[in-house]
């Protein structure tokens, strides 16, 4: 693969793996904090759009996707640099195998898959972001399947293929709008969970930031959309050695547990 070859995806870099990113100093901690604030901002923006009857569910969903993609791009620029796409290509072609290139390839693959999500009728984004002493891990997971466990569900009439009688159609639209309003409240609360899980390093003690994290899920199946965020605990003793550049690691016990507990039997982690 050359630098100008169109990227067509390589799920092997994501499958059952996470990218571990060092946080050796205040500058790196602040960069990570900003990235997670971007994620929280995307949740809040989605909640506001969903509460607006003039905004479609799809638009709110796409704005959230854009916000998450922005968070990945921020992380890539902060850690890898502006040439992250070229570096990702170099990793995929085997011309580089260092940690920065691995991170570039990992998150660039995630960005590429985000571009597909708004056009796929059954797909869930199911990430786990964990904090450890002096590092964090980002486990990007995409699922063929619909996550309803622990999730708030809401309906989009614009995506429904059901042909309803007039008397039922009005009821369906009313119930759909009600589900969207309920979801907006929960999604706004979820944004606060993200902020609490990753506090500002300038306003918190290190002990508050040495462990913890979130698991999240959002996606759709046809006209039904879902969204969930839950705080989780990481094992602060998982990594015995510090690192000075990113590295690919196997998925965490938290990732395995949440897959068992959240995903339906017919779901497939890509």
**Rounded to 5 degrees, what are φ and ψ at 142?**
-115, 140
- Judge whether 200 lies within some domain: yes
- Judge whether 6 lies within some domain: no
- Judge whether 4 lies within some domain: no
Structural domain span for residue 208: 13-264
pLDDT at 1: 47
pTM: 0.91
**Domain count for the chain:** 1
Rounded Cα gap, residues 207 and 106, in angstroms: 29
pLDDT at 170: 75
pLDDT at 55: 86
Q: pLDDT tens string for the chain (270 positions)? A: 455 555 555 668 899 999 999 999 999 999 999 999 999 999 999 999 988 888 888 888 888 888 888 888 988 998 999 999 999 999 988 999 999 999 999 999 999 888 888 788 889 999 999 999 999 999 999 999 888 888 999 988 776 666 655 666 777 778 888 899 999 999 999 999 999 999 999 999 988 899 999 999 999 888 899 999 999 999 999 999 999 999 999 999 999 999 999 998 889 998
Do residues 56 and 20 lie in contact, with contact meaning Cβ atoms separated by under 8 Å? Answer: no
pLDDT at 52: 87
pLDDT at 43: 93
- Judge whether 43 lies within some domain: yes
Rounded Cα gap, residues 34 and 136, in angstroms: 14
């Amino acid at each position: 693969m050359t630098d100008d070859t169109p990227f067509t995806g390589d799920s092997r870099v994501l499958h059952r793996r996470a990218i571990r990113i060092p946080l050796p100093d205040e500058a790196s901690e602040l960069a990570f904090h900003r990235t997670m604030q971007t994620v929280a901002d995307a949740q809040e923006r989605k909640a506001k759009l969903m509460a607006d009857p003039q905004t479609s569910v799809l638009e709110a969903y796409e704005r959230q996707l854009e916000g998450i993609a922005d968070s990945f791009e921020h992380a890539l620029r902060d850690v890898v640099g502006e040439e992250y796409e070229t570096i990702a290509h170099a990793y995929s072609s085997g011309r580089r195998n260092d940690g920065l290139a691995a991170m570039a390839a990992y998150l660039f693959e995630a960005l590429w898959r985000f571009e597909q999500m708004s056009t796929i009728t059954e797909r869930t984004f199911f990430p786990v972001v964990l904090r450890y002493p002096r590092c964090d891990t980002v486990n990007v997971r995409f699922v063929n399947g619909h996550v309803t466990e622990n999730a708030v569900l809401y309906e989009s009439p614009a995506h429904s293929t059901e042909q309803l009688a007039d008397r039922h159609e009005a009821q369906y639209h009313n119930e759909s709008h009600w589900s969207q309003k309920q979801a907006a409240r929960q999604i706004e609360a979820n944004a606060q969970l993200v902020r609490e899980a990753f506090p500002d390093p300038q306003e918190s003690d290190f002990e508050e930031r040495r462990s913890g994290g979130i698991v999240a899920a959002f996606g759709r199946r046809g006209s039904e959309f879902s969204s969930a965020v839950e705080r989780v605990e990481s094992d602060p003793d998982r990594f015995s050695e510090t690192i000075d550049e990113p590295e690919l690691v196997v998925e965490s016990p938290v990732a395995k547990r949440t897959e068992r507990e959240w995903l339906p039997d017919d779901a497939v982690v890509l």
